[in-house]
Each structure stands twice: as C-alpha cells, then as structure tokens.
Amino acid sequence: MTIPTPITLFNSVVPDSEYAQPPLYQPINPKNSAIFRFQSLVNSVYHLNLTSYYDLYKWSTLNIDKFWSLVWDFTTVVGEKGDQVVDKDTLPPENPQWFCDARLNWAENMLQCRSANKIALIQATEPTEEYPDPELRKCTYAQLYALVADIASALLLYGLKPGDRVASYSSNCIENVAACLATTAIGGIWVSAAADFGPEGVLERFEQVQPKFIFAADAVVYNAKIHYHTPKLSALLHGLDTKSVKPNKVIIIHAVPQPTTPYEWDSNWTSWESFIIEGQKAKLGRSAAGEIEWCRLSFDAPLWILFSSGTTGRPKPIVHRAGGMLLQAKKEFVICGDLQPRDIFFYYTTTGWMMWNFLVSGLSVGCTIVLYDGSPLRTPSYLWQLTDRLGITIFGTSAKYIDQLSKCYKPREHHNLHSLRHLYSTGSPLAPALFDYVYEHIHPHVLLGSITGGTDICSLFAGMCSALPVYRGEIQCRMLGMAIESFSPAGAANPPGEAGELVCTKPFPCMPLGFWPLAGYGKAEDVKGAQTRFQQSYFAEYPGVWYHGDHVIISPSKSGNGGGLVMLGRSDGVLNPGGVRFGSSEIYDVIELCFSQPNAEYVVVDSLAIGQKVENGTDERVVLFLKLMEGQELSCEFEQKIKSEVRSRRSPRHVPAKVIQVPDIPYTLNGKRVEVLVKKIINGAPLSSVNLATLSNPGCLEFYVDVGIQLRKEVE
C-alpha cells in the first residue's frame, strides 16, 4: 500500500510521520460527517476552536455536562430535557443522577418514524431441509407501531405496572422486538435470555428478577435444523414454580415456519395471536386518537436488566437506565457512526447478548433493522447473499465469526457487496491479520469498526468514527464523553503504547443504576447486598474510577484521533470461546449438581475452568480441570457424561474442549479458586510471575506448568 499524501481532518493537517503505519481505510470527506457538524456546533455554542477529533474528545470528557446536553439537542431526543444535566465534579463511584428534571420514554424515541412504506424490521431465518427457502418477514414502521400498541394494551389488561419485569426466552424475531418496545412503552423493565441457554441457566437469571410475563418461542432454527423450544420452557417454568415465581401470563410465539409444534400445549399458555387480539379489543394505554400513551419516566428510570456472565456466583442482574441507554445509542449511531435512516442495519446476535439491545436501538435513527435466527457459518455464503439481497449497509458480527470465515470463504469473490459501508466487530479482540482479511476479501473501502464496551454498560467505550482512518489492529478511537485511560497497577495513567487496565475516570450516563434489586424493589438487606456487590465489581480495584477488567494499550495518536485502542483481552476469569462470554460458575454449578454425590460412580471433589488461547490468540477454548475422589481415574465415558450434562444444562458453547484430571486445585489464602493465575500459566506465563505467598497450596502449580506445555503444543 502506498503512503497517502497528507490530508486535512477537522481543519488539521496530518504530517507524513503520522503515517509510519498507513491506514487501511481513509474517509473520503470527513467534513461531511456528523461528527464534524457536531464539532462545529460545539465551537459555535461555546466560542471554541476545536480542530481535531482529539480536541473534541478532550473537551467532551472535561465538560461532561455541556457535552451530554448538546448530544440531547443534536440528536433530537424526544422528551422533556429540563435544566440540570450532571454534577461534572462527581466521581464514578458516586454514580450521580443525570438530567434529574427530564421525562422521557425509550420506546417512544424508537418509534418516531410511523411510515407505512418504510420497513422497520426484516426477519431472516436459516434455511432447513424442510424449508430451503424461508420467506423474509417484513414489518413497516406503521405496522410495528400498531403491533406495539396492541401488546402494550394486552400487558396492561393483565396488570403490568411501571417497574414490573417482562422476560423473554425467545429467538431473534420480530415479535421479540415488539414485546420489548411494548414493555418499555408503558414503564415495564425488559429482561432477555437467549433461546440456546439451558433452562437452569435461565432460571438462575429469572428467579432473581421475578418476571410478571414471559414471552417464549415455540421453536428455533440452528445448523439447518428446527429445535423445539417448549420442553426447555416447561423446565424453566417448573423451576420458577419451585421458587414461588409465577408469571401472570406466558405468551408463545410461533417463531419458525413449521406448521405445528409436536409437544403438548400447556393450558396456562397463551398464543401470541390470542394475546394480540385481546389487546386490540381492550384498547388500553392509548388516547382517543389511537396514540400510545407513552409512560414518560425519569432519565434514571430502569429500562432493562442484562446479566453478567456469572464468574463468581450467580449471574449479576445489571440494571440500565432508560435515558442513559437512549442518549448513548444516539451518540454512537447519529454522531460517531453517522448512521442514516436509509441504512439497512444487521448484527449477528442472540437475544441474550447486549448486541441485540444495541441493534434494536438502531430504530431510533429510523433505519431498517435486519434480524436473523440461525447459524452464521454452516453455509458461509448465506449472510453475504442476504447482504446483497437486502442492500445491508451496516454489518455487525463477532471477531470469532470473521476468524472462522477467513479460513473457509472469501465473500468478495462471490458477492457484489456494493451496499456495505460499515462492518462492526466485537466480542473479543480482532487480530491484526483479520483487518487485512476484511479489506482484501470482504470490501476494500468499508469502515471496519472494531468496537468494545460490554454488558456492564450495554454500549461502547471505544469504537467507530466515520471521520477517522482505520489502522491495522486498532480500535479507531475512544468514544466521545467516555474518559478512558490505561492504568498501571499503581493507579496512574500509562503513557501511550504501555499496557494497562481500562478505566473510566469520569461518570457517564450509561453507567448502570446498580444490581437488582434496586431500592424500592426488594428487601432492605437484599438491596444493600446488591449495592455492595455493585461497588465491589467496578470501583474496588482503583479508587475513584470505573474499572472495567480489560487489558488494553492506548496507542500513540494518529491523524488527530488521540490514540486508538489495542485490546489485549480480559483481566478476569470470564470464559470467552467463540466471542461468547460466560462465567466459569455456570460450569461449576453443573459439576456440583451432577457429579458431587458421594455415592456416585464418579465423584468430582473440585473443579476449575479456564480459557486457553487458540488460533494465534484470536479465540480460546475451555479447559476443565477436575480433582476426583481418591482412587478414581478419569475415563472417556465419564468425560462424555460431563460434556453431555454441560451441553444440556447450559449450551453447546459451554462444553469444555478439554477435560483433565489434576491432583489439586489451587486456592488463595482466603479460599478463592485462582482461575486467572492458572489461565496465565496455561497460556505460557512463567511460574516466577506468581506470588506464591498468596496461595494456600502453591505446590500444585508445577503440575499446571507441565500441562500447559502439552496443551500449547496441541494448538500450535
């Protein structure tokens, strides 16, 4: 690639020296971008002369009150703004109130477009042998609005009140989006679990939030097969019943094109169609003119609950504020990503991943959202055929998908892909070689937006910017308003190029409200416990800042971006095979339930699960270490039993790639498994890097050093 001549970005000339590493992508005219228009507004309102992205970024993090106020205005948020924004001198652990005088409704902002001609949602389903060419289901904005009104009416009919939880155990379908919008339109709190989760994993989540309504699919499609979902739903409902959690209604969505489900229908269930008809007849929650009576609540009202991966116990229920989710999405899409109503926006995601919430929030721009139920790689060409067929302009996926695709398919050789302008990647770090693959084999002029954030904030810390170049192996920039630094162990900001812990030094509006239950929603001792866990999760590592648990490098500034981000992986013990994050406790719980009885054929005394890097660090596989009862040996039969139980009780993604018998499991002096330490050893860290004084049984680590050598040889 030839080194380009210096260009002007935000009126700032970039010197040749900045191009020691030439960009893979260069915006044609940054001055036509939304971020340039926003910068011009800042300069005009506050009489400034900001000339680069980094100038704007620094201003946005030093003046969080002025910045977020202008974001509200620039992105035309619907609602009452009020005068107060935030006390900019507070620190993140104080979790300050935002826009305390504001009144808004998230769903109202999603449904500002009411066009009978504009498509809001397109649902695609993976082909199967029975249905080799499934139809594309489409829903206009007018139809979606009417559907949401009917569901909201039915929810009100059966007693939904603001603050009640509505849960989904469903596939990525039109009905699921509509149910989310209807729930939040009338003040309910949305909770979602992916259909590929086992019922016990969903029970761990739903029992904590006690949903009043559950929407569930009767079947899902994956790997070109129809998988009937109602048996898993029945198991979940039985589990909830044993916990004295009984929803008002269970609504069944007919989600795939099979004519009937072969499983017995529970008389307590209601079909989606019947539920809609009841809502149409009741006509509740709407004005005389038929307008939805939006429940406008405070900026900090709870919108939805997302769950952590459950590393240290049950998955933590993270409560996100309505205004924060709306304002952050508006900033990311309208200002940073420059999405337009004409965009066709697709993200490969399940309903249990935060990227589903991210995708649905694209409705606030008025663009068309593409939903997909099925496997992304069984037929590698399918999603790219869909891109050409629908004219997809924004294509979102995981780094794991791009890595796997690179081994088997070159989309550019088989597809036009002329519509594609952005490709987003997240879930795990995108390796530099995969940047090359995207530009060589997918599209030479696409904006490759490697993005990072997390379930904890349900949005982005760093990601895409339509006015900046893309450099190999780097996330383009820190997002506006997010005061990101790389901290050393001593709690000081690292210089550019030095690895450290990702922290945020200023409050931001998408900080979660806390863990469930919030004040007013549970017993005082439960609320206090949730608040303590919340503070320990994000604010205990470094005083006064948000600690996120990612190991990162902020690179030297190029093209005025203030430095891109290089992601080095998670700092904790979260497992992340295939870009799907989950906690080791989800595996431990299965082992304890199924294989810890003293009279069993095999008895597991203890276990430890870690992620081993594979595919040159682009992915990881789960390795499960087992300490068995004295005198017992791990057999192939027992290993298969373990894998089968994990698969059925959790999901195929949870199944360990390797199961290894060990003489002992290492513990800290205060009785905690040392997952991160073992993970580092297995991935090649020397034993000399371990502080043995912190362990109660350090002698067992020699075994893991030897095992690590063998495991690394396997994947080389």
Alpha-carbon distance of 640 to 535, in angstroms, equals 40
Largest CA distance in the chain: 78
pLDDT at residue number 174: 98
pLDDT at residue number 11: 36
CATH (one of 3.30.200.20, 1.10.3720.10, 3.40.50.12780, 3.40.50.2300) for 63-113+123-375+451-475+499-553: 3.40.50.12780
The residue that leads in pLDDT, 565 or 630, is 565
pLDDT at residue number 19: 36
Confidence tier at 12 by pLDDT (50, 70, 90):
very low
pLDDT at residue number 106: 98
Three-class SS state of 269: strand
**Lowest-pLDDT range of 353-362, 575-584, 672-681, 707-716:** 575-584
Q: What is the pLDDT of residues 44-84, one digit of tens each?
A: 999 999 999 999 999 999 999 999 999 999 999 999 999 99
Instruction: State the average pLDDT over residues 220-237.
Output: 94
Alpha-carbon distance of 182 to 712, in angstroms, equals 50
Q: What is the pLDDT of residues 255-272, one digit of tens each?
A: 887 776 677 788 899 999
Residue percentage of the chain with pLDDT more than 70? 94
Instruction: State the average pLDDT over residues 678-685.
Output: 90
First CA to last CA across the chain, in angstroms?
30
Instruction: State the average pLDDT over residues 662-681.
Output: 81
Indicate the residue type of 44: S
Fold of 574-714: GMP Synthetase; Chain A, domain 3 (3.30.300)
Alpha-carbon distance of 411 to 385, in angstroms, equals 9
Confidence tier at 14 by pLDDT (50, 70, 90):
very low
Query: Which residue in 446, 433, 443, 353 sits closest to 399, CA to CA?
Result: 433
pLDDT at residue number 601: 78
Q: What is the pLDDT of residues 121-165, one digit of tens each?
A: 999 999 999 899 999 999 999 999 999 999 999 999 999 999 999
Alpha-carbon distance of 199 to 397, in angstroms, equals 26
Pull the structure tokens for residue 619.
Answer: 């992915």
Confidence tier at 551 by pLDDT (50, 70, 90):
confident
Calculate the average pLDDT of the chain.
91
pLDDT at residue number 264: 78
Can you give the pTM of this predicted structure?
A: 0.84
Q: Are strands 477-478 and 459-463 parallel, antiparallel or unpaired?
A: antiparallel
The residue that leads in pLDDT, 192 or 428, is 192
Q: Is the pLDDT of residue 667 over 70?
A: yes
Alpha-carbon distance of 481 to 45, in angstroms, equals 17
**Lowest-pLDDT range of 85-99, 291-305, 494-508, 600-614:** 600-614
pLDDT at residue number 1: 30
Residues 6 or more apart in contact with residue 101 via CB below 8 angstroms: 80, 81, 82, 83, 84
Sign of CA dihedral 315, 565, 467, 562: positive
Using CA atoms in the order 653, 657, 660, 664, what is the torsion angle rounded to 10 degrees?
Answer: -40
**Lowest-pLDDT range of 251-255, 428-432, 662-666:** 428-432
Q: What DSSP string describes 166-193? A: EEEEE-S-HHHHHHHHHHHHTT-EEEEE
Domain boundaries, the chain: 63-113+123-375+451-475+499-553, 574-714
Q: What is the pLDDT of residues 277-320, one digit of tens each?
A: 999 999 999 998 889 999 999 999 999 999 986 544 578 999 99
Q: Is the pLDDT of residue 5 over 60?
A: no
Query: Which residue in 166, 57, 146 sits closest to 554, CA to CA?
Result: 57
Confidence tier at 694 by pLDDT (50, 70, 90):
low
Residue percentage of the chain with pLDDT more than 90? 77
pLDDT at residue number 599: 72
Instruction: State the average pLDDT over residues 589-598.
Output: 81
Sign of CA dihedral 294, 295, 300, 304: negative
Q: Is the pLDDT of residue 347 over 50?
A: yes
Q: What DSSP string describes 122-148? A: EEEE---SS-SSPPPEEEEHHHHHHHH
Asked, as a colleague might, if the bond just before 517 is cis with ω within 30 of 0, I would say yes
Three-class SS state of 454: strand
Three-class SS state of 471: coil
Three-class SS state of 156: helix
Instruction: State the average pLDDT over residues 352-376.
Output: 96
Q: Is the pLDDT of residue 276 over 70?
A: yes
Alpha-carbon distance of 256 to 260, in angstroms, equals 10
Instruction: State the average pLDDT over residues 375-383.
Output: 95
Confidence tier at 92 by pLDDT (50, 70, 90):
very high
Q: Which residues, listed in sequence order, are joined to residue 104 by a DSSP beta bridge?
A: 79, 297
Sign of CA dihedral 676, 678, 682, 685: positive
